Structure 1
């Protein structure tokens, strides 16, 4: 029988670890409650020092480690695991490949979990709609359709915009610190909503424990909403020398994508250039309504871009698969 206070987090990448760090103190104060994380066997057995450090931290947080493979296991097998939990929170991203998000959602519904938070910690897929340059987004809409078509399992979708650190990933191509260049996607007046992984973990925890209970809706959060011009201006203020500015039109980005249609970053650049569903007013967010402090763009930059010779932020280095894409 499912424990009413049993929470399972899927994945312990950048977002998963942030989620667990914020959930653990709350859960540990509740009698009979438990917090677990589902990890691949290879992650548990890894000799990588960073992975070992994360595992030690999880032990210190009293997080139980559950073995499982979201990509390899069947929906039925996952449902058997999920059925032991009241709440399942997916922090796994897209790296499992097409179909994995639908499989996870199907498993959560078949398991009869009371509450499910899918991997939707990103843009507003309803506004973007189907047929966008990033084909994986259609699967996110499939998941929303599955959740809205039933009533047995409560669901919450937390829309966060882009992970703040992802904006500074060289492979994404917007901010190139080494070349001191900023590239606007679509136009300099296009905006993007940004939220740090730590704030996503903190705000999702507040959403889960909010009273009155939040269920069956999309919740907007934001650390900041900025135009690409404001990004370039902030870099001019915080780093020596003026950045070189270039603008990529939607047409140009779609031509680039057509030349390499399987390139993930080109897909993302084209979506953000179109400007739909990728930014929202901070005043309409859960954190603004509740008066919860968050980390804005300049605060993040001051903390992570302190050294002018630093080519990429520490929070992003080696984490490209754990930001928008996660692990």
Structure 2
């Protein structure tokens, strides 16, 4: 049963996920496409983790953060994509209430943790370029580990708040989520009470976190670009910028798409646009990270070549 009687009211015990598309034919095509993207993301991120771990030349703070980002991206996509693929391929669109709660919590935790980790990576690049003589002293192994722990801890705390804020609303009527995973905006639209206060609170807190992390990242890059422009050698400027351009591209793509969803009030939420944009920041961005980081990074290319084509 979808609803369970409880005195004079009913409570939703499971939800129905719409999936990637509204039509069965497109749903199957979309599922096969995203299966390929998901497997590509897993292969790419596992390759980066393995290459960084095996190559002693990459045991630096920059690649330590990159390895953690790859692990986070694998978890990030694995929270939503496998369930959506199973639902689309098996024709079962049901997700239990508590499974939906867990999925939202884990997804928000990964998303917020990635915000903080990207900020830590920007700070690392700032120190490497702006204060190269003090870099190895400041960016110690202990500080790197602490920054990663803080990123995960902060993401977990925010996920607890965000999940509690969403599911503190009563759900006693419609149970069809117009999305391919449990996200806050389409879930709040199903509440049988006024969700305006919860929406405003979530909007304010989420905005502070997203904009705060983004502001710190931008400040770091202002100093980075200012320092790069003062380098006299064209080769030096090119090398310094190449170490930052990949990270900057990931930051822009992640924040632009994520902000479109989480900084848009529920009253203005469009299911079709929400699904389309969510594909970018929940599937495509984590899948593109390995590609973006390897395109202009010769050290990473060398490590991957050594991994897949070992010398005799």
TM-score by length of 2: 0.31
| Bigger strand share | 1
Ranked by relative contact order (alpha carbons within 8 Å, sequence separation 6 or more), the top structure is 2
Larger Cα-atom Rg: 2
